[in-house]
Structure 1
Amino acid sequence: MNIYLTRHGQTEWNTQGRLQGWQNSPLTEKGRKDAKLLGERLSKIPLDIIYSSSSQRALDTAKIIKGNRNIETIIDDNLREINMGPWEGRILEEIEKENPVEYFNYWNAPHLYVPLKGGEYFEDVQKRSVAVIDKIIKEGKYKNVLVVTHGITLKNILNYYDNKAMENLWDTPFIQGTSLSKIEVRDEGIHVPFFGDTSHLE
């Protein structure tokens, strides 16, 4: 089984440096164009199913990637981005100024990060998102699966299957919008052959 994973395309809040989390902003022209380029790259792969986060930016990205192909899309709340509580919709600089300790840990020591009221721990995101992938693997119904999700959710999934500790979450490269990662499930085990590949965008 091959599980391909991507992050949604660039959004308006991405360009403004605002955190989105469970909130949403529309895809930019670049975000739509990049999703189309990823769709062209994946057109050579016979996808059996698409799993998407329920956030509109992910659903829109999935729809563009799918194009005219008749592929079922399963929508799952557990593939949503980390809930950032009161940080959502706010600019990074403001958050850093008001909550310096939490902000530092968020970007530098994820295993020590304690969210403000209403937010999620990184471990919460990993638990719910990995449960989705585990279910896909255990059911074993598909050969090629596409998962459309978000940056931190994607990092948590890949970190888990690459057997890395939570404190190493940010060690791997930044996940660009519509970059492609892959989890290979074989008889001998599960591994991550590539992570955040953007060759279709360059």
Structure 2
Amino acid sequence: MKTTTVYLTRHGQTEWNVQNRMQGHRDSALTPLGVQQAEWLNRGLQQEPLDMIYSSSSPRALRTAEIVRGERSIPLIACDEFIEIGMGLWEGRDSAEIEAGDPEQHHHFWKDPEKFSVEGSETFAGVQKRALEKLQDIVTAHDGQRILIVTHTVVIKVLMAYFEERAMEKLWDLPYIYPTCLCRIDFTDGQAEILLHGDTSHYVNSVEDELFD
């Protein structure tokens, strides 16, 4: 019986993370610390015989994936299905400014995600559907292989919630999804087993002040 291993990781810290700005489909560059975090994961996965890397098509995720791959000749494929939740008119704006200007939707985003809806945004359920369908296709296509997916906070949260059978209202409960933290799900005979969730043991030192994606 073959086991397919899927690793999920978030991109490294970005400039907008430091500025506490919402990113969503928009992008900002990795900070020097973000590059370092990707390098830590590169070293942490050196002994892992990865067969394929999939990445969100967002530049911050692709750059992280390239650093994690390093000198290894592992195929890397960009996927729109793994991009961050679209936040519409929130994108690029300061989180505190959003909370002051739209406290109801800010509350929904963090406390009741099923009710989140602003102009131009996606729903959490929609993100879960697109990302889960792509993940299931990948597991089917790579039976018995080891796959890394580089993506974003909300994508990881909704995927892990699905496999945990976690209610959407509990989505933001711990563990926190730090930059380049690692989740691992093993799929055997159609059954999913979570082995890692938000692991940062590859960090060279403890840097846990990064802000939301």
Gaps of 5+ in 1: none
- 2 CA distance for matches of 1:64 and 1:142? 25
Matching residue of 1:178:
180
Q: How many residues align?
A: 201
**Displacement of 1:188:** 6.7
> How many Å separate the matches in 2 of 1:138 and 1:25?
33
Could you say which residue in structure 2 is the equivalent of 1:79?
82
TM-score (norm 2): 0.92
Residue type matched to 1:168 in 2?
K
SS in 1 for 2:197: strand
Tell me the distance in 2 between the aligned counterparts of 1:172 and 1:187. Answer: 29
Match of 1:190, SS?
strand
The code of the aligned residue for 1:19 comes to: M
Counterpart of 1:39 in structure 2 is 42
Instruction: Indicate conservation of the 8 Å contact 1:48/1:142, yes or no.
Output: no
Compute the displacement of 1:111 (Å): 2.0
Structure 1 runs (4+) deviating above 4 angstroms are: none
**Letter of the aligned partner of 2:78 in structure 1?**
I
User: How is 1:144-183 mapped onto 2 (pairs within 5 angstroms)?
Assistant: 144-183=146-185
Superposition deviation, residue 109 in structure 1: 1.1
State the partner residue of 2:145: 143
- For 2:67 and 2:143, the matched residues in 1 are separated by 24
Deviation string 1:34-73 (CA, Å, 9 cap, x unpaired) is 1001000111000000000000000000000000000101
Aligned residue in 2 for 1:189: 191
Distance in 2, Cα, partners of 1:98 & 1:186: 47
Supply the distance in 2 between the matched residues of 1:16 and 1:188 (Cα, whole angstroms): 42
Q: Which moved more, 1:153-162 or 1:29-38?
A: 153-162
How far 1:138 moved relative to its partner?
A: 2.1
- For 2:153 and 2:62, how far apart are their aligned partners in 1? 15
1:6 aligns with 2:9: yes
- Structure 2: which 5+ runs fail to align? 206-213
Q: Aligned partner of 1:58: which letter?
A: A
Query: Counterparts of 1:5 and 1:14 in 2: how far apart (Å)?
Result: 19
1:94 aligns with 2:97: yes
2:211 matched residue in structure 1: none
Give CA-to-partner distance per residue, 1:60-118, whole Å, 9 cap, x none: 000000000001011100100000000000000110011110000101111222x2111
Quote the sequence identity (%).
Answer: 43
- Aligned partner of 2:208 in structure 1 is none
SS in 2 for 1:174: coil
Match of 1:116 in 2: 118
Q: Supply the RMSD in Å over aligned alpha carbons.
A: 1.1
Query: Residues 162 and 191 of structure 1 are in contact (CA less than 8 Å); yes or no, is this contact kept in structure 2?
Result: no
